Amino acid sequence: MTPREIESLARATLGNALIQLAVHFPDELDVLGVDVPRALTQAIQLAEEAIALAPHLPDGHTTLARVILCHDDEEAARDAESVARHALELVEDHDPAAVALATALDAQGRTGDAHDEVERVIQRGSGHPAPFALRARLRLTLGNVEGAVRDIERALVMAPEDGLLRLDAARVLAGAGDNVRAEEHRERARELLGTSMRALVGDQEIA
């Protein structure tokens, strides 16, 4: 890789880290003296710099799609879809871009299309839990409860100490009517996430 490509990947990675903190761990940002709007603004800047350094790589475009999705409205979802599709035009089997595309499609209510997209990621042999967790949520929405439970259990085998994944498991199992196991996963999430749990689910689910 060239120095510009390495720098581009570094900026995209840092942008993704800021998105993760802003969306899931805002309390950690407070420790750093950064609020969520500023973190997302910096993530956009990093994504744009990554693209400028190496426009032929999908990583900067994928980071930009992810940060656009943080705006959480249909127009933003359409914009994120466009950016994610461009990333996949650059590298058609780039899994993070495909997951971003599936997320953008789901945000537009196109759950079936989102499922088809993440299905392609999994069929390629993804060893990361995120596609399975996403497919679990999509399958639950589509009424495939057994498939949703299988997917979230498979994701947990890959990352049993991931607190966010435990929250996903709690929601999937609650949706499947298994409230006992849902509470077990919720309790484990409390242990793993600590004070961040409140920012993620609010006071009602913590009680």
Question: Is pLDDT at 206 greater than 80 in this prediction?
Answer: no
DSSP 32-73: HT--HHHHHHHHHHHHHHHHHH-TTSHHHHHHHHHHHHTT-S
More confident residue, 52 or 26: 52
The pair of structure tokens assigned to 50 is: 């990554």
3-state SS of 155-206 is HHHHCCCCHHHHHHHHHHHHHCCCHHHHHHHHHHHHHHHCCHHHHHHHHHHH
Other CB atoms within 10 A of residue 27 CB: 16
What does the mean pLDDT of the chain come to? Answer: 92
User: How many angstroms separate the CA atoms of 99 and 96, rounded?
Assistant: 5
Confidence of residue 201 (pLDDT cuts 50, 70, 90): low
Judged against a pLDDT cut of 50, whether residue 204 lies above it is answered with no
In terms of pLDDT, which residue wins out, 194 or 119?
A: 119
Q: CB neighbours (10 Å) of residue 125? A: 7
The mean-pLDDT minimum among 36-50, 55-69, 93-107, 184-198 falls in 184-198
On the question of pLDDT at 55 being above 90, the answer is yes
- pLDDT tens string 77-114: 999 999 999 999 999 999 999 999 999 999 999 999 99
Does the pTM of the predicted model rise above 0.85? yes
For a pLDDT cut of 90, what percent of the chain falls above it? Answer: 81
Cα–chain-centroid distance for residue 174? 20
pLDDT at 207: 37
Residue type at position 174: A
The per-residue pLDDT for range 141-180, each reduced to its tens digit, is 999 999 999 999 999 999 999 999 999 999 999 999 999 9
Percent of the chain whose pLDDT exceeds 70: 94
